[in-house]
Structure 1
C-alpha cells in the first residue's frame, strides 16, 4: 500500500501500546477531495461499504418499483445486518413474495451476530441458514433485479447481467475503471477502486437531488432508506446503526469488512471513505466517528459517538486500563 498515516492510537495508561494507520478522504459532490489523509490513490476493496452502489441498478432499472419494494427492503439491500428477527423475517417475506426461499440465495449460511437469534438457534439445536447471512438483503435485491432482467439463477457470476449492471454503475459512480475484483464473503464479486474513487462515489450520493436524473432519484431513495431505517442497515449495538441514530436524517454510514467505512452527508454534500490498513474494526469505527465529528455532523459528547471515538479499554476485572483515541493528525489535520 502507499504511504499511510497514523489515524488511531491505543493507550495503556500513559504508554502508547498500539497504533493503527490508514487512508481517508472527504469528497464534495463534484468529486473533489476537500480533506485527506494517507494515499487517495490507494487501490482498495470496499467490501460491504459498496452495497449502496451494488443496489443502485435494482432501483435505477425499475426493478424495485416493479416488485413494489418498500423503503425497508431498500435499506436491507444496502445492509450488513446481524441476523436478528427484524432482519430475517423481512428477508423471508421478501423472498416469499417472489416464490423463492433460502435455497435460492447464493450466500452461505452464517451464525447470526444478534445474541437473541444466536442463542435461539443454539437452544433449539438448529443450524443457521442463508437468510441469517448478513448479506441476505443484498442477495434478495440481486434476485429481484435478476428476475426483472429475465436472467438466470447464478446471479453472482461475473458475467451475469446483474453483476454486469453493478460493475457499470460502480465504474460510473467512482469515475474510474475498476482494476479488478475479489470474491466477497457472500460469494458476490467485490469490485476494486481507489480510495478517492469511493470518496467520489459517496460525494455523488451526498449531492444527489430527488428532482434530478433517474440515477439521482435512485440514489436519493437508497440514501434516505438507510437513514430512515438504521436498525435494518446493521442492528442494535452496531456502529452504523448507532452513529446514524446520533444524527437522525443527517448521515448514512456503512461499514465494510477489513476496516473499511463510508459516510454520506447530504446537507453538506460531502462523502467520506476510509481504510485502516491492518483491518482492525476498532480503529475504523474510531476514525469514522472522528471525521464525522470534525465535519460537524456528530457531537463528540454523544454517548453513541464517544463509544466509538474514545472507548475505554477495560480488563477482565472491569478496571479502566487505557483508551482508544484518534491521532493528533486526524483531530487537527
Structure 2
C-alpha cells in the first residue's frame, strides 16, 4: 500500500519524540491519518489505540508516552469523518459515516500500514468508546491481536428513560424523511469540551486533562467535531446490537469502566464482560468516561494494569498469526 507524510501537531500532543504521522487511502479511497511512535530500546510489542467519536491522534499523545515509556511501540488513528481524516459531509462539524462497517476499511488500512512499517509484534489493541465498538469487531474479524483492552467501550449507548425512545425514533425515522445528515434534537455542532465547562462534564474529573483537550482544539480547531448525524446514530445502534449478539472471542481481554459512566451503556459492558471467558472487568470508583485521562493517581494504575495485561500474553506466547487482508 502507499502512504505519505501527514501533519502531527507536536506542539499540543505531549507525545514521545520521534513520532511520525502518515496519510493512508482506504479501499474506498477515503483518506485517513495514522501516527506511530517507537521506544528507544527494542519494543515488547505494538499497542494500537482506537479512539472514540470526535477524537484525534493528538489527544492520545500522552497515552503514547505512557506506553512508550513502558517499552511498547504505539499507534493511533484518525477515523474517517474526524480529526484530519476526510470529513464526509459538506458541514465538517457533523460526525458521519454511511455504514458502521466502513470503519473496518480504516482498520484494514491501519493494519496494512503496520505490516508495511514492520511494527514490532505481538500486536495489541485498545478501543475507547466508539473505538471499543470498532475494536471489538476488529478482534472478531482479525486474528492478528495477541490481546485486547477497552475503556468505556461503546457496546451500547446510554440514554435517559425519556431520551431513549426519542433517540431511537430520530435514528430510524430521520433518515427516511430526508434528515439523515442532520443532527439529533438537543445536540450541538460545537465540540463538547468547548461547549461544556469542566464542572459537570462527563469525560474526566481531572481539570488539567480537560484543559489539555480544550487547549488542543483552541490551537488546532480543524480537529474539532460536533454532534453526529442521525445516520451515524442509526448505524451505531445497529452495530451495538450486532456486537452484543456475538460470542466473545478467545482473545484475552481487559476492560475498564468508570462507575460514573454517563455516555455509554454500563449494563451492556457488564453483560459482555460477564460472558467473556478470558476477560476481566475493572470498575473505577467515581471514574468518568475516560479512565486513561483521569487524575494521575487513577490513570497511572490503569496504564500499569494495561501493560501487565499485554505482557502476560508473552509469558506463554502462542504463535503470532500472520496478517491476512
Category of TM-score, reference length = shorter chain: under 0.3
Whose helix proportion is higher, 1 or 2?
1
Q: TM-score, normalised by structure 2?
A: 0.26
* Greater Rg by CA: 1
